Every structure is written in structure tokens, then in C-alpha cells.
Chains A and B, each alone.
Chain A
Amino acid sequence: MHGSGAWRGTEQVAESAEPLVVAKGLTKRFGDFVAVDGIDFEIARGESYGLLGPNGAGKTSTMRMISCMSPISGGTLRVLGLDPAQHGAQIRGRIGLVPQEDTLDLELTVLDNLMVYGRYFDLPRSVIRERARQLLEFTQLWDRAHDKVDPLSGGMKRRLTIARSLVSAPELLILDEPTTGLDPQARHLVWDRLYRLKQQGVTQVITTHYMDEAEQLCDRLAVMDGGRFAAEGAPQELIRRYSTREVLELRFGTADPTPIIPQLDGLVQRTEVLPDRLLLYTDDGEGTLGHVHRLGVTPDSALVRRSTLEDVFLRLTGRSLVD
């Protein structure tokens, strides 16, 4: 990756070929419960790597192990080439964490939150002040710098948490659901900023529930389910591998559409019957729709769309609700 050297300084260039994070058989247990069940992955310098999965899939546990806040229960983990069990403090000094729940100090001002945090990294006040100004402009919070955090909106707090995680100029940025609970405007602003950071060579690990977010931000991603990887790859690659090019969605009102399914053999690779609609996974949506019409069936409505990551996700992790 080219930009990575610029972010941290030239001394890092030599080791840039080595992955930033290497996990082998990584496991996390809480008593008898296995939260992460022996996963393997590597994250290259400059890459944006996503962890997707339903609640309880083990994403946050994985993130907490990478950020050296939670000891591993099995397997091996190397972050920045170091062992978290022995060099936790050193590693944490070089990574930035955006935790799932904000840990901002609500009673301090926006600026003081950055000052306090930067001081944990032992940065001089003058350096933090200069970075704080730039980061608050970057996250469009500069005009609120001297306001208390408490009354800020959820989106502003999230952006402040991101700004705070960057105060130490980290090599690796760990974002646990960075946009959950934000309105569309705030989400797009966060995406834009994360994209810029990526362009500057900041390696990112991101968990999210939003498939559009994963598709936008991640070079590569893993779909987690029950503590394991159900699939791993680039978003387009996963769509190719686990879904078809297009999806035909048919709505039938009260009529039962199932009798037509056997007659679509050859055209349709996979079908899914939902309470309100029928999903036909096919490489040729229009052609399939024509065939349906030729069978003498008239759906209430028909929609041809491209396959998305959401189709992959639901196929791999199922549609049933996870609590």
C-alpha cells in the first residue's frame, strides 16, 4: 500500500509488506459460551476490512481482542507484528478505537475530550491542540469545540468519537458499528470521512449491520455467524460466489405462488418464498419475468434488481431473528 508510509512516517515502510493483523484459530470463550470459535484472517496494511454478522455473531468480541482490550482464549493473534498478551500497551498506543458505545465524557467540552484523550498517549498539549483543530474541522465539529458534549446529537457524538480515535495518529483504526443509530446525513458524512482516511492509508477494521456501508467502505469482508466465518472475500466476489447477478421480486397478494416454482427450472438458480413476496435468484431477471408471464401468471408487482451483499448475508446467516 502506498499511502501507509505517509501516515506514520518513513520508518514504517520497511515492514509494510507484513499484514497488520494476523489471527490463527482465534478463539474467545466466556465460561462455557464460545463467542469466537477459531477464526483465521489477515488484514493488510492500508486495507479496509469488514466484519458482518447478526447480533451475537462474535464481531465485537473479535474487535475487542484486536484492540487489545480483551485477552484471547485460544489460537494466536498478532497486531502490528506484536503479541497483545505481552505488548498490549504498546499496540494500543498505535491503534485508534471507536467502540460500539461512546465513552465520551459528557460533562467536558468537545475540545477537552480530545485533550484528555491525547494526554493518555502522552502527546504534548500543543500537538493535541493542533490536531484537535484539524480533526474537528475534518469531522465538522469545530464550531462546537467549546460546547459540552452532553447536548450534542448522536451523530455529532459519533463523529467526535471518531475524531478522538484519530488524535494519536493511529496506524490501525478499529470501528465497531460506527454509524449505528445515525440519520442518513450523518451516516454519509461518516462514510465520506472514513473513505478519506482510507485514501490516506489508514488501515481500518469495521463492523456493521448495514450492507450498503460494508459495500461502500470495505475492500474485503468476512460474514460471521455463531463465532465463525461463514464466508470471506471482496464484496463483489461474495455476491458472485453466493448469489446470482440479478434478483426478481414478485408480489402476489393473496394468491399462492408456489406452484409456478417447479416450472422455472433452469432459469432460476434459487428461490425464496417470503410471506409477502417470492424471490427468484437468476442471472437474467427480465427473461425470467417474461417466462413467468408466458406461464400465464400475473403478479401484482414485479421488480428486477441486482444482487446485493444483503442477499449474500441473508443466505449465509438466515432470515430468522437473532436476539
Chain B
Amino acid sequence: MEPTDRALQWSADTVTRPDAPHRTRRPTPMWVRSARYWMYQYKRTWRGSITTSFLFPVLYLTAIGLGVGSLIHHPVDGVRFLDFLAPGLLASTAMQIGGNDAMYPVMAAIKWLKTYFAMLATPLSVIDVLIGHLAWIALRLFVVCSIYLLIMAAFGTVHSPLALVAVPVGVLTGMAFAAPIAAFAATQVNDMGFSTIYRFVLIPLFLFSGIFFPLNQLPGWFQAVALALPLYHGVALCRGLVLGHVGVSAVVHLAYLVVLSALGLVVAARTYRRRLVT
């Protein structure tokens, strides 16, 4: 059949029929609709991404936890070095995933693929686009942190049922980076600023947030600085939960991460609007 003849038929067919059957359903929340896009995109990359989620904890826990740990014969903060290290790595992985997913994908959605603009031509608005993207990052963090916890258990580093709470805390730690970094990414004209974030934020925090050694090993002023930085609070919370000793300080850690995430969201709503609505 000649294609144009078929083409004419669709006018009288489904496309022109009013979309009656689905009108009775409850409408899907707007942010869920925008989060769904990222799920579609993930269909393409999930295999590699899941593999790395398994591989990295195994590599880190083996090389540093068991390898370097074999040189450390006295307890660190009262526990085996491997037990000290593992929960910190969970928090730092969350930071890296949260930070990374709020940099290049945001730039792509603004500039390279213009996905945000495609969304904004539909019923979605700026806040739906933002919340949908952050919700997707949170979901991904949940999966990655869950896998991490499983592997930690396999390494024998989980010492309390409270460790299950380390998963949502890992998500929160990741969001405390994802939200402010997304706010920053929306102000950038290219991806040059992202290497600055890596060099001056993510990597130093990874090294000096009490993951590899207790902060009291640092000189006093340095300790004060490290305590004020966000990753430390994620690390301390996760460690407490996984080892089973949670104190009052947990409230401070939690509040710190919640406030940072919320501030990030508020600022991102502004920078997104400024960038996307002209």
C-alpha cells in the first residue's frame, strides 16, 4: 500500500478520537511524569550502572578495607579498620552519585539534549521538572545504597539491624549534594565548573570526612572545618547505624543533611526558573 494512503486514514481513526478511556483514571502527579523520563533513559544504561554499583564497593572494601586494613593491628575508634571504613564508604558513594547525577545530566537536559525544554512544552512546569529529576536521583541512590549495604553484610561489617536505616540516610546524604549541585549546574554555561566541584568539593570531602581515619587525628582547626562540612555528618550517621551505637548527635547530623537538601531545593527552584523560563 502506498504510505500516504495509510497516512490519511489515521485522521479518521484513533488519533482524532477524543482520549476518553484514560480520563477516568486519577491523573499521575506531574513530578512523577518527569521522573519517568529518567527511567526511560536508564533503560539504556542500567546494566553498566548496576555492575559498577556491585563492583566498586567490592573493590574498595577489598583493597583498602582488607588490604590496607591488614597493616592496621589496633582498633580504630574501638572497632576493626574494615568495620570503621565500610559505613563511611557507603556515605561517600551516595555523595558521589548524588553529585555526579546532578551535574552532567542537568547540563545535558538544559543544553545538550534540551530535555527540560521538551518537558516544559507539555503540562509540566519548572518545579515538576526539578522535583522529578531529584526524585529520580533519590531512587537511584536508594538502589545503590541498598546494594552497598548487601555487600557490606557479605564482608561481615554489619553489626546492627539499625543498619537498614543507613540506606535512607545514604539517600539523604546524596540529596544533600544533589540538590545544591543541581542548583549550581543550572547556572553554568558549560561543564567546566564541574571539574572544579570535583577538585575542590567532592574529592577533598571524600578524603577528610572521617572515612579513612577518625577526625581527631587532625589538628584542632582542621577538625573544626571538617566537622562543619556535610559529608562528615552522613559518614557519622551511617557509621553509628551500622555499628549500632546511635547517640543524640544523630539529630544534629540528620538536621544538617535535611537543611542542606531543603536549601538546595529552594535555590535550585530559583536557578532553574531563571535558566528555563525567559
Contact = CB atoms under 8 A, between A and B. Distances in A.
Q: Which 9 A-B pairs have the closest CB atoms?
A: A9-B18, A134-B10, A120-B122, A103-B118, A103-B114, A97-B121, A138-B7, A89-B123, A93-B123
Nearest to A105: B113
Contacts of A121: 122-123
A147 interface: no
B64 interface: no
B96 to A, nearest CB: 23
Contact of B41 (A88, A108, A117): A108
Interface residues of B, number: 42
A113 to B, nearest CB: 9
Given A123-B22, A137-B7, A101 B114 contact: yes
A115 interface: yes
B14 to A, nearest CB: 5
Interface stretch (A124-132, A212-220, A223-231): A124-132
Nearest to B30: A89
B19 A127 contact: yes
Interface stretch (A14-22, A45-53, A64-72, A275-283): A64-72
B220 interface: no
Contacts of B113: 103-107
Contact of A196 (B7, B36, B120): B7
A106 B44 CA distance: 12
Contact of B27 (A7, A97, A103, A122): A122
A112 B43 CA distance: 11
Contacts of B33: 119-120, 122
Given A134-B10, A135-B10, A123 B19 contact: yes
Contacts of A104: 113, 118
Interface in B4-40: 4, 6-11, 13-19, 21-22, 25, 27-28, 30, 33-34, 36-37, 40
Contacts of B10: 134-135, 137-138
A108 B40 contact: yes
A182 interface: no
Interface string A31-45: 000000000000000
How many chain A residues sit at the interface, stated as a range, is 35 or more
A97 B7 CA distance: 21
A89 B11 CA distance: 26
Interface string A157-201: 000000000101100000000000000000000001100100110
Interface of B is mostly: helix
Contacts of B8: 196
Contact of A70 (B9, B34, B37, B277): B277
Contacts, number: 115
A30 B278 contact: yes
A105 B43 CA distance: 13
B115 A103 contact: yes
A200 B14 CA distance: 13
B10 to A, nearest CB: 4
19 contacts: A6-B16, A30-B278, A69-B121, A71-B277, A92-B121, A97-B121, A103-B117, A103-B118, A104-B113, A105-B41, A107-B44, A116-B40, A119-B37, A120-B34, A120-B123, A123-B19, A135-B10, A137-B6, A192-B4
A135 B14 CA distance: 10
Contact of A92 (B3, B7, B41, B123): B123
Residue among A90, A117, A120 facing the most chain B CB atoms (10 A cut-off): A120
B164 interface: no
A99 interface: yes
Contacts of B125: 88-89
Interface string A288-299: 000000000000
Contacts of A116: 36-37, 40
B76 interface: no
Contact of A130 (B4, B14, B119): B14
A140 interface: yes
Interface string B113-143: 1110111111111000000000000000000
A270 interface: no
